[in-house]
């Protein structure tokens, strides 16, 4: 799964005040209009620019390709429990068969058996596996998730997000992406 980013849209990569992206997945991007507005409101520093400019009768400005916030935004400690984040934790694959299409989510211990809708009981599942398992317990259905469901950290989701890069990364962004990953010898 990839996020469609159009080079023609000239988006700006948004970095926190510590020069790390606000988010890796989805990659923290602003439209060029939002980036210019933030420049005029003095909320960001321009780090890199495109060759393309916008002009008015009395003003011309190169479009920012990388901006950093002037004020540090504290990252969230615990990711939101959302369908998307469950899929990201499970790397967009069914935890029963490994399929990537028709994803939904499954309660490992079904609600009919007292299972709760929590990180520790929900996994990504394709529709056919979800229907096959139904409201049976894993042992009854002989269906066990490949990985035990867990509450991921923000870092877990960032690491998994790196496996699904956008279809377009501007060259000016490369110095600011993935710089906190371990270097290979």
> pLDDT digit string (tens) for 11-61?
999 999 999 888 877 788 999 999 999 999 999 999 999 999 999 899 899
Helix/strand/coil for 130:
helix
Q: Environment class of residue 7 by beta-carbon count within 10 Å: exposed (0-12), middle (13-18) or buried (19+)? A: exposed
Q: Which of 22, 38, 69 is the last residue of a domain?
A: 69
134 pLDDT band (50/70/90 cuts)? very high
Backbone φ and ψ for 143, nearest 5 degrees, come out as -130, 115
Q: Is residue 28 part of a domain?
A: yes
Number of domains within the chain: 2
Does 94 lie in the same domain as 141? yes
> What region, left, alpha or beta, does residue 123 occupy, with left being phi > 0 and alpha being psi -120 to 50 degrees?
beta
pTM above 0.75, yes or no: no
> For residue 121, what are the domain limits?
83-162
pLDDT of 89 strictly over 50 = yes
- Taking a C-beta distance cutoff of 8 angstroms, is the pair 68, 15 a contact? yes
């Amino acid at each position: 799964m990839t996020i469609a980013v159009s080079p023609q849209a000239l988006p700006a990569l948004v970095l926190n005040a510590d020069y790390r992206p606000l988010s890796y997945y989805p990659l923290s991007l602003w439209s060029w209009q939002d980036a210019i507005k933030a420049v005029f409101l003095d909320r960001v520093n321009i780090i890199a620019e495109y060759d393309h400019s916008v002009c008015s009768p009395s003003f011309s400005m190169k479009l920012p390709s990388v901006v950093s916030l002037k004020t540090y935004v504290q990252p969230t400690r615990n990711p939101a429990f959302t369908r998307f984040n469950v899929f990201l934790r499970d790397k967009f694959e069914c935890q029963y068969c490994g399929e990537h299409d028709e994803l939904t989510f499954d309660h490992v211990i079904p609600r009919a058996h007292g299972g709760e809708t929590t990180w520790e009981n929900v996994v990504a599942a394709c529709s056919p596996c979800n229907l096959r398992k139904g409201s049976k317990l894993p042992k009854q259905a002989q269906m066990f998730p490949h990985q035990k469901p867990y509450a991921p950290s923000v870092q877990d989701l960032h690491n998994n997000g790196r496996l699904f890069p956008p279809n377009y990364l501007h060259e000016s962004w490369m110095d600011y992406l993935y710089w906190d990953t371990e270097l290979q010898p």
